[in-house]
Structure 1
Amino acid sequence: MAKFFDIHPDNPQQRLISQVADALRNGAVIAYPTDSGYALGCAMDNHFGSDRIRAIRDLDERHHMTLVCSDFSQLGQLVILDNHAFRAIKAATPGPYTFILPATKEVPRRLAHPKKKTVGVRIPDNEIVRSIIAELGEPILSSSLILPDIDSPLTEGWQIKEELDHVLDAVVEAGDCGEEPTTVIDYSSGSAEVVRVGAGDTARFE
């Protein structure tokens, strides 16, 4: 049965943030709100956790998992950025975008795309997420909470707990966080390619 954390969206209770971070350290898979809907997450070194996320979403190993970061300096340690990508991504973050870029050696090989050696990264505009990452001390390995057998995304914490109580360890509730997933921009070829149109405006990358 998943634990339920009701956290204030603007003034997150530090006690609850610490409990969520501790759960991640101890191997939990969680559902948590971002600035573009809910996501599934676990600690970077949680091998079984990433497998559980893929199983929940029915994904294969070619699907890019995302490393959710607290700020641009943390993101810059995980991916290789040329000057063009650096400027464009810095201007667009924090925000509802996921960027696919070549991974640095800081990223465990199992988290990168098996052939392209790329990884997804993002910095959400969400105080709760940034607070959890700051307490955890590292990015959260994540994937959008898009279920294979449900037409519309789950947008309420209680609804997610009810639907996924048997496969999650914790659910974070923080009010409305939207339902449109991130816009995905692939920079792995050296120029921006819009892979998925979502909550983020694509005009700046076209």
Structure 2
Amino acid sequence: MLQPINPDHPEPRKIARAIDLIQKGEVIGYPTDTVYGFGCDLMNKAAIERVYQIKGMRQNKNLAFICPDLSDIARYAIVENQAYRILKRFLPGPYTFILPATREVPKYVHLKQKTVGIRVPNHPVALALVRALGRPLISTTAAPPGEDPIIDPGEIDDRFPGLALVLDAGTGGAVPTTVIDLSQGDVQIVRQGAGPTDDLV
């Protein structure tokens, strides 16, 4: 179901409706500062399995998740001083940072690697969702595996009938996040995306 939402000042009742669905184990589509994503509760294993099913993605692929701010990241990832300085410079923004997972992260999310991909997007709707939920929200690009991100929320709603709701904040971006691995103590650019990396290396 498509639900128009104000991209700059998301209506609280629309956020509350989305959160109600997420808390019931549903998967939604929502905008970020890069592309539209699929989201569910990080702590709901059945919902995460549904994300893989809806997207048609193999379960050996890690999923990233959204935190509302830097202080929240430390609950779910081990952040050394150098990594913290980088996060502080680049977040919120169009980046996913890979970091060592803490015990707060369910094992079914970090799989064998014991690392997590964490985002703090610069988008009012995504931040309103994760703040209202009170814990991280899964974030994976709204696209079938190997295809470009879908920029039209109406098309997302049509192509993925397993979604309980798609928050329509207008046309989304076509370039996903830049993925940066900080888990080994140095800076490794895994994927060049929307976020510039000139100042990183």
- TM-score scaled to structure 1, two decimals? 0.93
Pairs within 5 Å for 1:55-204: 55-114=53-112, 116-148=113-145, 151-165=147-161, 167-204=162-199
Which of the residues 39, 42, 52 maps onto 2:40? Answer: 42
Q: Deviations over 1:168-191 (max 9, x none)?
A: 111110013311000000111111
Structure 2 runs not aligned, ≥5 long: none
1:37–1:144 Cα contact (<8 Å) kept: yes
Q: For 2:83 and 2:59, locate their aligned partners in 1 and report how far apart those are by CA, in whole Å.
A: 26
Q: Deviations over 1:50-93 (max 9, x none)?
A: 11222333333332211201111111211001111100111100
Q: For 1:204 and 1:64, locate their aligned partners in 2 and report how far apart those are by CA, in whole Å.
A: 27
Q: For 1:48 and 1:96, locate their aligned partners in 2 and report how far apart those are by CA, in whole Å.
A: 28
The runs of at least 4 consecutive aligned structure 1 residues that moved more than 2 Å come to 55-62
Structure 1 runs not aligned, ≥5 long: none
Q: For 1:44 and 1:143, locate their aligned partners in 2 and report how far apart those are by CA, in whole Å.
A: 12
- TM-score scaled to structure 2, two decimals? 0.95
Q: Deviations over 1:116-145 (max 9, x none)?
A: 211110100000111111111111012112
Q: What is the aligned length?
A: 201
Q: For 2:114 and 2:133, locate their aligned partners in 1 and report how far apart those are by CA, in whole Å.
A: 25
Matched, 1:20 2:18: yes
SS in structure 2 of the partner of residue 99 of structure 1? strand
2:153–2:171 Cα contact (<8 Å) kept: no
- Letter matched to residue 162 of structure 1: D
Q: Which one is further off, 193-202 or 136-145?
A: 136-145
State the Cα RMSD in Å.
1.3
